Structure 1
Amino acid sequence: MLSMISFVKRNDIANAQGLYAVRLRICKERQRRYFSLNIFADNEYWDEKNECFRILKNVRDIKQKEENEQRKRYNYLLNCYRLRAQEIIEGFQRENIDWTLNQFADAFLNKSKQGKIKVYMENHIKTLRETGHIGNANCYAATLNMLEHYDSRLDQKTFSEIDIKFVNGFDVFLQKRGCKGNTRKYYFKALRSILNKAILEKEATEKTYPFGKAGFQIEKLTEETEKRYLPVEYLNKIKNTVSEKPQREYARKLFLLSYYCYGISFIDMAYLRRNNIVKFNGGEYIVYKRHKIQHQKGVKPIKIKITKEIEHLLDSLNKNNPTVDDFIVPIVSISGYTGEKLYNHIRGRYKKYNGYLAELAEELQITDMKLTTYVSRHTMAMMLQRNDISREQISQMLGHADMKTTNTYLDSFDTTVIDEAAKVLYDV
C-alpha cells in the first residue's frame, strides 16, 4: 500500500550528468500526483526503502566529502518538504476539507488563491468573455454577485464547503430577497454547472456535491410562467394597423418579422448578416444557429424560407432605418462594434425595443397582457399547435436543443381550447 507522502526517484529519464530526479509523491484515494523538487540522485547513493540519500562515514577524499555534504543538504530539504506536506494535509483535516490533489498542489506550490470557488468562477467568467460567450459570462457573474451577498467570506470558501447545507442556506437567502422559483433556478443552474466543471477538472470532489438524486432538487423550483401568446384578434391588430409613431411602427415590423421567422429572438435577429442568406431549393433562406446555444454539441441550424411577407418587412425596415456593416436587420446602429461591445450594444437596443412595444400595445389597446419580445415567439409556437403541427416540427422551428423545452412552451393549453373541451360537460 502506497504511503500518502513519499519520495521516489525516477528511473526512466536522466539529466546531462546521468542523475535522476527525486520527486514528492502525494497519494489520495488511488490517485497520485508528483512534484518536482530540483533534487537529483543516482542509483548508488539513493536509499529507496528509506526514501533518502545514503550518507558515507569516514570520508577522506575532498570530492567525496563535498558530494557527501550535498547529500546531507538534500536529506535536510527532503525532511522539510515532508513536514510541509504533512502540515498542509493536517490543515485540510482541521478545517474538515475533503481536499483534492489539485488543492494540495495549490497549497504546496504557494498558489493559495486557486482551488477556491470565487477565483475559479472569476477565471471562468473571464474566459467566457474572451471567447465571445457574453450571455453566459453575465449569467455566471450575476450568480457570483448573489453568492457574495449571501456569504461575505466567499473568497475563502473551497469547493468542498459548497455542500448541501450551504446550498439550502443560499435558497433561504434568495427567498427572503423575494426571488421566485424561476429566478432561484437561474442561480442554482449556474452554480451546479460550475461545480460540475470543477469536478471534471479535478478541482473539486463529488463527496460534498450538493445536487443530484439525494441532494438539492433544482427542477422543483420551476414555476409555470404567465402565458405570453396573443389571441388571434390581437395578432390581427398588429398585422393590419400601421402605427402613428415611427418608433412604434419600427417595433411593430420587428415583431412581425420575428413571428414570420419562426419566432426568431431579438438577439438572433440582430446578429443576422448577409452570409446568413443562402440560396437553395429554388429560393432564398435565412440560415442561422441560435446565439445562446450555437456552441453546444449537435445544434442544428434553423432554415427559414424568405417569403414575400418577410422580404417586404426587411425592405420596409431598411428603407426607414439603414443597416450598418453587413447586418440585414436594422438593429445594430453603430458600425465597427465586435465582441462584448457589440453584445452590450444589442442589449441596449433590446431594452428600447421592449419600450416601443409597450407603447404600441397601449396604442392598439392591448391592455390585458404585456407585449414583449418573447410574445412573438410564443404566439408563433401556439399558432402552429392550434393548427395541428407536430411538436417535433415546432421544436425544430424554434431551434430548441431538446423536446423538454418545447413541451414547457406548449403543455398549458390556451383558454379557448379548455373552454371548448368544457362544453362536453353540458352536452351529456
Structure 2
Amino acid sequence: MRSKTTEHKEGKATVKIVYFTSKTLADGSHPFVVRVTKNRKQVYRYTGLSLHPKHWNATKKEIRRTYPDKLREDLLDKLDGWRKKYEEAATTLAGNDEQHDAETVFKKAIEGRQAQRRVKLLAYIEELAVGMVAAGQVGNAGVYRDLANQLAKFIGAEYSAPEPPLGKGQEVEKAAWVKQHDIPFDRVSVTFCNEWEATLRATGVEEITLSLRFRTLRAVLNKAIDAELAKAENYPFARTVTERRKFQVGKFDVTTAKRAISRDELRKLEALQPATDRQGLAKDVFLFSFYCGGINFVDLAQLRWQDLTGTDEHGRPQRLSYVRQKTGGKFAFKLLAPAATIVAAYRPFTFAGLASYVFPVLDSRKHQAATQIKNRLHKVLGQVNKDLKELGKQAGIATPLTTYVARHSMATTLKQDGNSTAVISQLMGHKSEAVTAVYLDSFASDIIDSAFDSLL
C-alpha cells in the first residue's frame, strides 16, 4: 500500500535571522526578525529583540566583538532559539512531504508552541525587560519593570492577595507570587484598563504618568501579538478615533504646566550662595544646563574632560562636544563664560585624566555596569531636584525648580529673543518642531495674554 504523499518531493523552507535595518525603533535600534523563504516568497516575523547599530558590524553582518561578552552570548542564544523554532517547523513539513508555503511554516511553529502560548502578562513583561537589558537598553527595561510592579499591585488587590515581597533576598518569593497571580493576555480588556486607571487615579498618579504606563502596556500587547502570544481580536486599545468603545490612550492630558523661569529669576539663582556642597552641585547643574542648550542631566553627568577642548586666557575650556545618550545625536558648540567658569571650578577636584568625569556624580571605579550607572544617576537626580526646589524657595522663585525647568527656560529665553522654533529644536536635539512646541507652550500663552492686555 502506497503512503499518501504529494506527487513531487516538497522542498524545505529556509529560515534565517535578519537584522532588519529598514525598521528603526524609537530608541534608535533595529529589530531582529525571522525570515522564512519558500518558493521565492519571503515572510517576516518580529522576534521582539533589537540592537543599536553601533553594536552591529554591517560588513561582517554580525554583532561587534566590542559588545559585552555576556550580553552578546545572551542575545545570540535568544536569536538561535527563534531560529530553531521555525527551523524545526520547516523540517517537519518537508519531512512529511506536505505541500506548503512560508506562511504555513509560521503556522506549524505556532502549533509547536502551545506551551509558550500559556505565557502570561507579567512574565512576558519581565522577558521583554531582560531582553532590553541584554541589548543595553537599561532605561527602557526600567520603564517595563515599573509597569509590571504597578500591574502586580493592582492584580494583587483584585485577587485580595498580599503584594509580592520587594526586599533583597526575596526574589524567589516575588517570582512565585507573580507566577501564581499572573493573568493571561485576554484578561487585559477595556474593563481591566478602566479599572486600573481608576485605581491609579485614586492614588494621585498624574496624567503624564498615566499616559506613560498605558502606552507601555499597549506596546507590550503589540509585541505579544507580533510574537503570536496574544490574539489581535482581544486588543483593548483604540487604533482609530472611530473605536470609541475601546480604551483611548490619547485621552490623557500630557500638556505641561509652566516650567520656565525668567532671566530676572535666573539672576536671583545665580546670586544665591548655597549652604552645602550638595546644593552647590544642584545650582551648577541647573545653570550649566541652561547655558549649554538645555543639556539633560543624564548627558551632563556623563561628560568627561575629553569632551571639553580649547582654553581661553583664563584657562577655561572653550568648546563642548558630546553625544546625546537618548538619541545618539552629536552636539558641538562653544561654551559661554558662565558654563566655562562652572566646569573650570570642578577641575581641581575631578580631573584625573581626560577620561575622568567632569561633574562629581559618577565614579568610574565604582560605576561601570549600565545598571550601576542608571541607579546612580537616578539617585543623584532625585537629590538635585530636591535641592533645586529648596534653592528656588530661598531665591524667591515661585516655579518649583528641576533640571527640566532649566531646559524649558533655555528654550523660552531663545524664543523670546526671536530665534525660530526650528533652530531651538535642533539645539535641543528634538526629532521634530512639534516636540519643541511643547516646551514653548507657556511662552505662547504669555504672548496671548499680552495681546489681550493691549485691548485695555
How many angstroms apart in 2 are the aligned matches of 1:169 and 1:184?
13
Instruction: Report the counterpart of residue 316 of structure 1 in structure 2.
Output: 345
The reply on whether 1:256 has 2:282 as its aligned counterpart is no
Structure 2 SS opposite 1:354? helix
Give 5+ residue unaligned stretches, structure 2: 13-44, 46-85, 100-106, 160-177, 311-316
The answer to whether the Cα contact below 8 Å between 1:250 and 1:317 also exists between their aligned partners in 2 is: no
How many angstroms apart in 2 are the aligned matches of 1:248 and 1:144?
35
Instruction: Report the counterpart of residue 288 of structure 1 in structure 2.
Output: 322
Query: AA paired with 2:378?
Result: R
**Equivalent of 1:136, from 113, 116, 140?**
140
Q: Matched residue pairs, number?
A: 339
Instruction: Report the counterpart of residue 209 of structure 1 in structure 2.
Output: 235
How many angstroms apart in 1 are the aligned matches of 2:263 and 2:227?
51
Instruction: Report the counterpart of residue 407 of structure 1 in structure 2.
Output: 437
**Equivalent of 2:415, from 385, 388, 393?**
385
Displacement of 1:102: 6.4
Structure 1 SS opposite 2:321? strand
The answer to whether the Cα contact below 8 Å between 2:207 and 2:254 also exists between their aligned partners in 1 is: yes
Structure 1 SS opposite 2:234? coil
The answer to whether the Cα contact below 8 Å between 2:303 and 2:357 also exists between their aligned partners in 1 is: yes
Counting only pairs closer than 5 Å after superposition, residues 348-387 of structure 1 correspond to structure 2 as: 348-366=379-397, 368-387=398-417
The reply on whether 1:394 has 2:424 as its aligned counterpart is yes
Displacement of 1:234: 1.1
Displacement of 1:376: 0.7
Residue range with higher mean Cα deviation, 129-138 or 227-236: 129-138
Displacement of 1:288: 3.1
Displacement of 1:336: 4.1
Displacement of 1:127: 1.7
The reply on whether 1:341 has 2:376 as its aligned counterpart is no
How many angstroms apart in 1 are the aligned matches of 2:364 and 2:259?
31
Displacement of 1:121: 0.9
Structure 1 SS opposite 2:332? strand
Displacement of 1:414: 6.6
Structure 2 SS opposite 1:330? coil
The answer to whether the Cα contact below 8 Å between 1:323 and 1:333 also exists between their aligned partners in 2 is: no
Displacement of 1:402: 2.5
Query: AA paired with 1:410?
Result: L
The answer to whether the Cα contact below 8 Å between 2:262 and 2:413 also exists between their aligned partners in 1 is: no
Instruction: Report the counterpart of residue 15 of structure 2 in structure 1.
Output: none
- 1:334-369 deviation per Cα after TM superposition (whole angstroms, max 9, x unaligned): 624221012111222212222332332233233x22
Displacement of 1:183: 1.8
Structure number with bigger Rg: 1
Counting only pairs closer than 5 Å after superposition, residues 1-400 of structure 1 correspond to structure 2 as: 11-12=10-11, 104-107=111-114, 110-111=115-116, 114=119, 116-152=120-156, 156-211=182-237, 212-213=239-240, 214=243, 215-277=246-308, 285-294=319-328, 300-320=329-349, 326-333=356-363, 335-338=365-368, 339-366=370-397, 368-400=398-430
Residue range with higher mean Cα deviation, 117-126 or 217-226: 217-226
Displacement of 1:274: 4.2
Displacement of 1:194: 1.5
Query: AA paired with 2:374?
Result: Y
How many angstroms apart in 2 are the aligned matches of 1:103 and 1:47?
19
Structure 1 SS opposite 2:320? strand
The answer to whether the Cα contact below 8 Å between 2:350 and 2:357 also exists between their aligned partners in 1 is: no
How many angstroms apart in 2 are the aligned matches of 1:252 and 1:34?
59
Query: AA paired with 2:209?
Result: T
> Structure 1 residues 38 and 317, CA, compared in 2 at 3 Å: closer, same or farther?
closer
Structure 2 SS opposite 1:286? strand
> Structure 1 residues 255 and 130, CA, compared in 2 at 3 Å: closer, same or farther?
same
Instruction: Report the counterpart of residue 87 of structure 1 in structure 2.
Output: none
- 1:299-348 deviation per Cα after TM superposition (whole angstroms, max 9, x unaligned): x3233323333222111133355578522233214624221012111222
Root mean square deviation, CA, Å: 3.6
How many angstroms apart in 2 are the aligned matches of 1:141 and 1:357?
28
Give 5+ residue unaligned stretches, structure 1: 1-5, 14-30, 50-99, 295-299
Q: TM-score, normalised by structure 2?
A: 0.64
Structure 2 SS opposite 1:178? coil
The answer to whether the Cα contact below 8 Å between 1:302 and 1:396 also exists between their aligned partners in 2 is: no
Displacement of 1:181: 2.0
Query: AA paired with 2:125?
Result: M
Displacement of 1:217: 1.9
Query: AA paired with 2:410?
Result: M
Report the identity percentage. Answer: 26
Query: AA paired with 2:415?
Result: Q
How many angstroms apart in 2 are the aligned matches of 1:321 and 1:123?
39
